[in-house]
Structures are given as C-alpha cells and as structure tokens.
C-alpha cells in the first residue's frame, strides 16, 4: 500500500474522531456589521451541539442594523493564544418578554466547533441544589472560565412572582467578593458535567442587589431542541458523507 494512501486513510480517521477536554463555555460577541474584528464580549454561552450555543435572549436582542452577533473562544495557534470568532445566526424564544421570562436564545455559528470542545445535554435546576457556575469573573470571563460553587433556590424562594426564575442569594461581603464580572448566559452545571442545568439571567449582582437569577434549561428544552434540529441534521448528513467518502477511498485502495 502506498504511503500516500495510508496518509489519506489516517486523515479521514482523524476527521471521524472527536476528542473533548471539557471546553463548553464560549463568549458571545457583538460587532459592527461586516467587520467581526471590532468584536466586544457581551455574554457567556454554552455549547450544546457542534454548531449551536445557548445564551440569553436579552444579550443578543440587537435592534441596530449596524450590529451583528457572533461567538468567540481562545485557541493556541502554535506561537500564541488568539481569539477565534464565528459569525452566528440568532434565534430568540418567541415569548421573550423580560430578563426573567423566556430569556433564552440559540445561536448557530458558521462552520462548526472542532476537536477539544464538548457539547452539553440539557438538564434541569431543582430547589436547594448545589451547582457549579462557570465563566464567573476572572480577567477573560467565559474565555477563561472560572468555576464557583453556588446553591440554587427554587422560584418560590426567590423575590418576585415568577415561576421561571431560580436564584442564589449572597451575604453582604460574599456579594462584594464574588459578584463583579459575571456575565449573563454563563452556565450552571449540577452533578453530571456533561449536562447544562441552568443559565445566568442577570449580569452580575452586588451588595445592594445580592441575587443571581437563573433559568432552568428543562423549561425551554422543547423549543431549544426544535431550533437546533436543523444544525444537528446537517452535522449528521456531513458525517455520513464523510464516512461514505472513506469507504470509497478504502475500496479504491484495496
């Protein structure tokens, strides 16, 4: 068998193989239309498929025709760490009304996330649940996610009368130390690290307003799965075509 043919087989197998190191937090960016290099970070987001990111509707509800939404993460190019940016199509929940009601959006990026990223399944929040909050503070926000432990309270234990709003409450000094820098859209993971259970709704908290509010992802899972079905089908078709190409390659060689 020629070395060239062996290389082709090896390359195809690499494309069919996906390895993950737990990276599922990305930054949601806003940029001037047609110039993604002007990007600024607005929110956090969670990868839920190799083309889709979950974030808040309030973050991506852009009304100016001069602005667009995308996704950004950091990658090492061999010599330095650089931002990688993807343009994205925005889908906002049709019942989005406020920061604590249907505040959910799905982004579909151009291209796809490569090796080293993990897509999380959709889960639920429960009352008095211990979770980890990702993308909390830190110099790079979600681009260099920090993990903090929080206790989640159910809607009946949170201020206001909103059945969709879960929350965590912090003491005065705890709020001063922990609240600054948190971005909306940051994910909550409770137990199974392959599942995103919740998402931060408000952009941080303070000693004067010591509550963080969340959505339970399960409450919106039907809509999310419907909106991501197209991207998932494209991925499956692409994978099938790649596999068929590999079989054809093997047939011609052998």
Domain range summary for the chain, segments of one domain joined by +: 18-119+219-241, 121-218
Mean pLDDT along residues 208-224: 94
- Distance of CA 47 to CAs 22, 64, 75, 117, 153, Å? 11, 26, 16, 8, 25
pLDDT band at residue 214 using 50, 70 and 90 as cut-offs: very high
Please name the residues in contact with 94: beta carbons below 8 A apart, sequence gap of 6 or more: 102
For 74-92, what is each residue's pLDDT tens digit?
Answer: 887 788 888 889 999 999 9
Q: Could you report the per-residue pLDDT of 96-135, keeping only the tens digit for each?
A: 988 899 999 999 999 999 888 899 999 999 999 999 988 7
Among 39-53, 139-153, 170-184, the least confident range: 139-153
Higher pLDDT, 164 or 242: 164
Average pLDDT in the 16-31 region?
Answer: 67
35 or 177, which is more confident? 35
CATH class of 121-218: mainly beta
Q: At a CB cut-off of 8 Å and minimum separation 6, what does 110 contact?
A: 86, 87, 88
% helix / strand / coil in the chain, to the nearest 5? 25, 35, 40
Is a pLDDT exceeding 60 seen at residue 253? no
Q: What is the mean pLDDT of residues 150-167?
A: 93
Q: Do domains 18-119+219-241 and 121-218 have the same CATH topology?
A: yes
Candidate from 72-76, 140-144, 169-173, 226-230 with smallest mean pLDDT: 140-144
What mean pLDDT is predicted for residues 192-206? Answer: 87
Residues in the chain: 254
pLDDT confidence of residue 193:
85
What is the percent of the chain where pLDDT is above 90?
A: 51
Residue with tokens 């859209």: 185
**Mean per-residue pLDDT, 51-80:** 91
Q: Could you give the dihedral angle defined by the CA atoms of residues 232, 53, 70 and 75, in that order, rounded to the nearest 10 degrees?
A: -100
Q: Is the pLDDT of residue 14 over 50?
A: no
Q: Is the pLDDT of residue 136 over 80?
A: no
CATH class for the region spanning 18-119+219-241: mainly beta
Pairing status of strand 105-109 against strand 121-122: unpaired
Query: Average pLDDT in the 202-222 region?
Result: 88
């Amino acid at each position: 068998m020629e070395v060239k043919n062996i290389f082709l087989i090896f390359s195809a197998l690499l494309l069919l193989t996906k390895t993950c190191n737990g990276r599922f937090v990305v930054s949601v960016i806003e940029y001037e239309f047609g110039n993604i290099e002007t990007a600024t970070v607005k929110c956090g987001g969670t990868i839920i498929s190799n083309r889709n990111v979950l974030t808040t509707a309030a973050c991506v509800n852009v009304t100016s025709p001069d602005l667009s939404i995308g996704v950004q993460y950091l990658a090492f190019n061999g010599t330095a760490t650089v931002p990688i940016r993807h343009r994205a199509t925005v889908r906002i929940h049709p019942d989005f009304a406020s920061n604590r009601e249907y505040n959910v959006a799905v982004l579909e990026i151009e291209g796809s996330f490569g090796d080293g990223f993990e897509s999380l399944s959709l889960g639920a929040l429960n009352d008095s649940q211990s979770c980890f909050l990702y993308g909390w503070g830190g110099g790079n926000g979600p681009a260099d996610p920090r993990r903090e432990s929080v206790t989640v309270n159910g809607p009946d234990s949170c201020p206001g009368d909103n059945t969709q709003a879960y929350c965590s409450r912090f003491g005065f000094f705890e709020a001063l130390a922990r609240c600054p820098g948190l971005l909306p859209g940051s994910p909550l993971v409770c137990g199974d690290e392959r599942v995103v259970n919740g998402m931060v709704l408000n952009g941080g908290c303070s000693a004067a307003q010591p509550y963080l509010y969340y959505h339970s992802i399960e409450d919106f899972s039907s809509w999310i799965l419907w909106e991501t079905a197209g991207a998932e089908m494209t991925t499956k078709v692409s994978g099938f075509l790649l596999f068929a190409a590999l079989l054809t390659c093997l047939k011609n060689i052998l």
